[in-house]
Chains A and B, each alone.
Chain A
Amino acid sequence: MSVPLTLLGLLEREPSHGYDLKRDYDTYFGRGKPLPYGQVYATLARLARDGKAVAGEAEPGGGPDRKRYAITPAGTAEVEACLAEPSEPEPHLQTVLFAKVVLALMLGRPAEHYLDLQRGAHLRRMRELTEVRRAGPLVDTLLADYGLFHLEADLHWIDTTTARLGELAELVRAS
């Protein structure tokens, strides 16, 4: 979900200052990758320009921008449309990993070994995430779960591809 849509969603909850939006974004959506203040205010300015949010009067107090932003009906409609529309189930057919395997087979390099190394890297990451979910609060656990399920899906693909490498090698070499 894009940053503008996420901020718009946070605004639908309640009118907020840029500072509050950044705090909530970083807590729930930007884990490990905080949103720069500059991007928050630039995004809010664009949302206001496009009629999806309105800025209130500047309020007295510290900080560079003490305007409170509120969502407009157009903004609310956009949030609703985004939430109701299923995301595109992308098949990811041209992943880096797929390209590496095909290239390795084309070049007569040990594709199976490369896949094993990739498996090792995935398992290391899964160990880290498992540690996060063991120790962390529920939000961290659920986010780690998301990562774990995706890595697990990649591993299933690696298993299947490893089992079918001979077949793929014949196909690649014949073309």
Chain B
Amino acid sequence: MNNSLIRARGVVKSFGQTPALRGADVQVAAGEILAVMGPSGSGKSTLLHCLAGIFPPDEGEISFDGQRLDQMDETRRTELRRTAFGFVFQFGQLVPELTAADNVALPLLLGRIRRKAAYQVAGQWLTRLGLEDKGGRRTGELSGGEAQRVAVARALAVGPRVLFADEPTGSLDSLTGEKVMDLLTSLARERGVTVVLVTHDARVAAYADRQVMVRDGRMATLEPSATLGGLRR
């Protein structure tokens, strides 16, 4: 894959004595929606956190747009996360005391965009996600599906190049989850945003362009290759 926006090679990450990744390799093309699947404890969320520069790997290389994330200092990685990456997590991680519009505007205000402009952008994104009448509601008062749509709006409002989503529908029923995935993937495709989506749910993963699987901290091969004939126990 020559047009990789994200490339990870031989990534090893342990927490204390517990290994989470044991040499994971993955590449994500610009504009691609990639689903990372795997059973609980397989290392898939750790891989996402490493690719997003949240966890520095113990070993291996991770690059974003040709820049080595694993060699950047924390300040630079924080800057990258704020300006180039968006995040959606299972429980939204919104500020429940703030309104939907406040939550979406927050990362823009932190990026020193003027208040009026930030709230204008927030309003546009809430409208895109079908929440135009919810901007003034505290997110703690919204339904799970509405809150997750606010989280998607917040993640996309900053104009990220990559959206990292960790079990974004994990707390939703299947129909609501599908609505969130429909919106998330449609908007990402429309804007050319690359998406790395971690999920254990095959129906959610089916929204992606490609799926990879992590098992015991390594990548499993889901596609046939020429070397299979030689694989024998």
Residues of A in contact with B (beta carbons under 8 Å apart): 108-110, 113, 116-117, 119-120, 122-123, 126-127, 129-130, 134, 148, 151-152, 155, 159, 163
Contacts and interface: CB of A to CB of B under 8 A. Distances in A.
Contacts, number: 52
A113 B222 CA distance: 8
Interface stretch (B5-13, B43-51, B113-121, B199-207): B199-207
Nearest to A156: B202
Given A108-B233, A110-B232, A116 B202 contact: no
Contact of B224 (A117, A119, A126, A129): A117
Nearest to B223: A120
Contacts of A159: 39
A65 to B, nearest CB: 44
**Majority-rule SS of B interface residues:** loop
Interface residues of B, number: 20
Contact of A151 (B202, B213, B221, B224): B202
B220 interface: yes
B213 A130 contact: no
Contacts of A152: 202-203
B221 A130 contact: no
A151 B202 CA distance: 9
Interface string B206-229: 111101010000001111100010
Contacts of B223: 117, 120
A110 B233 contact: yes
B182 interface: yes
A160 B20 CA distance: 21
Interface of B: 39, 182, 202-203, 205-209, 211, 213, 220-224, 228, 231-233
A134 B184 CA distance: 13
Contacts of B220: 116
B224 A123 contact: no
Nearest to A148: B203
Contacts of B182: 134
Nearest to A122: B202
B80 to A, nearest CB: 30
Contacts of A116: 213, 220-222
Contacts of B224: 117, 120
Given A116-B220, A116-B221, A117-B223, A130 B233 contact: no
Contact of A113 (B39, B202, B228): B228
Given A108-B232, A109-B233, A119-B213, A126 B203 contact: yes
